[in-house]
Copies of this chain bind each other. A is one copy, B any other.
Amino acid sequence: MNYEKLFADRAEIMSVSAIREILKVVNQPGMISLAGGIPAPESFPMDILEQLCSDVIKKYGDKAFQYDLTEGFIPLREALVGFVGRKGIETKVDNIMITTGSQGVLDSIGKILLNKGDKVAVEAPTYLGAIQAFNPYLPEYISMETDEDGLIPESLEGTLKNHNIKMVYLVPTFQNPTGRTIPIDRRKRIAEIIKKNDAFLVEDDPYGELRYRGDKVAPIQTLAPDNVLYTSTLSKLFAPGLRIGYFIAPPKISYMMVMAKQGVDLHTSTFSQALAAEYISAGHMDKQIPKIISVYKPRQEAMLEAISENFPKGFNWSKPEGGMFIWAEGPQGANMEDIYYKAIKEKVAFVPGKFFYTKKGQGLETMRLNYSKADEKTIKDAIKRLSEVLKSEINN
């Protein structure tokens, strides 16, 4: 039969995934991938998982395998109240909702807020998974300017003034793709602007706990709780395969989010949630976080050092205090997509930065480098190989 005639209008934008196409080669044998954003398996608490399963089965019995509330498994929400409290977020069990990864938050917020053509203000560059979640609801993206301190508040202010913005989407801490963090003074200014303009912000914070240097910065949510949906995930602090995300939002938003989620998956895996509840409440996570940091910190240092030693002149790169990514900008005219194809011949992969921009033609000279998956030696080898390609291509 003719399947094409079946598809909805939104399928057109959903079917185009240029990044999926170019990253297909990443799994070739011998390839070193600095492309994905994948946690190190060495960061998972493998030593306690079997015991954790036993503990959960003993503690919750068949309830850990039964249908549960769309809002989420209550013991996990109770455990998260304390955890987010340490970030400065004041909330209660009823206001924490569990989702299937924080991707589940992004899909539902798009579903409840976005009519076709509604405007979403995003950082340039921004997180690709958010764009992928929002795209089926056919919004228009308005790019806001960033510098080494992340979003420039004046650009937010101008954007809210000049456009009818339905929602602002930010990754303020160790941003994907740049690794940059918005400092507290800017956060205060952003919170003021959001409140003054009666605007709504989605604050996506998957990496906040992965800090290797410097002081913690409060979430923007703590500065404007009535205007912010704050979302985070246990993918980087426990295990991504369990698919546990969560969010805290004003009650009217949360109510609609739950209605949306009910139609999407009824609820998130109860057993995954029960494992997470026990992992947090029994104190395992507090012990694990320093171990996770001890895996990533030397990898980041190795990458920064190797870049500094080997990259050709004309490059700038971010020096993040945490997270999983370094962002590098080559000289004007450099084309990182061309260089990507040269690099994979030398068995090293990264993500050309242009894929993180919503406007065509932006970020051609940029690239995102991930340091969470490969070990220090591999990272150094990869950066050397990549640098050779950059040297031979950039100065041509």
Q: Please give the residue numbers on chain A whose beta carbons come within 8 Å of chain B beta carbons, in ascending order.
A: 1-4, 6-11, 14-15, 17, 38-39, 41, 44, 46, 49-50, 53-54, 57, 61-68, 100-101, 103-104, 106-107, 111-115, 118, 129, 132-133, 135-137, 166-167, 198, 200, 226-227, 235, 239-243, 250, 252-253, 255-256, 259-260, 262-272, 275
Contact B100 A256 (CB under 8 A): no
Cross-chain pairs A/B with CB under 8 angstroms, 25 sampled: A1-B198, A1-B200, A2-B198, A6-B113, A8-B111, A10-B111, A10-B112, A14-B111, A14-B260, A41-B63, A44-B65, A46-B57, A46-B61, A49-B57, A50-B57, A64-B241, A65-B242, A66-B239, A67-B235, A67-B241, A101-B265, A104-B264, A106-B263, A243-B266, A269-B269
Contact B242 A271 (CB under 8 A): yes
Q: Which residues of B contact A7 (CB under 8 A)?
A: 112-113, 256
Decide yes or no: A263 and B14 within 8 Å by CB, A65-B44, A239-B65, A268-B243 being known contacts.
yes
Contact B241 A14 (CB under 8 A): no
Contact A8 B114 (CB under 8 A): yes
Contact A240 B50 (CB under 8 A): no
Q: Which residues of B contact A106 (CB under 8 A)?
A: 263
A218: shortest Cβ distance to chain B, in Å?
20
Contact A107 B263 (CB under 8 A): yes
Give Cα A93 to B100, complex, Å: 24
Give Cα A53 to B49, complex, Å: 9
Main secondary structure of the interface of A (DSSP, over half): helix
Task: Count the copies.
Answer: 2
Contact A265 B239 (CB under 8 A): no
Contact B256 A269 (CB under 8 A): no
Give Cα A1 to B10, complex, Å: 31
Give Cα A187 to B44, complex, Å: 49
A221: shortest Cβ distance to chain B, in Å?
14
In the complex, the chain B residue whose C-beta lies closest to that of A245 is: B265
Contact A259 B46 (CB under 8 A): no
Contact B264 A103 (CB under 8 A): yes
Give Cα A135 to B264, complex, Å: 11
A21: shortest Cβ distance to chain B, in Å?
12
Q: Which residues of B contact A270 (CB under 8 A)?
A: 241-243
Contact A242 B266 (CB under 8 A): no
Give Cα A118 to B67, complex, Å: 32
Give Cα A64 to B46, complex, Å: 10
A28: shortest Cβ distance to chain B, in Å?
17
Contact B1 A240 (CB under 8 A): no
Give Cα A259 to B13, complex, Å: 10
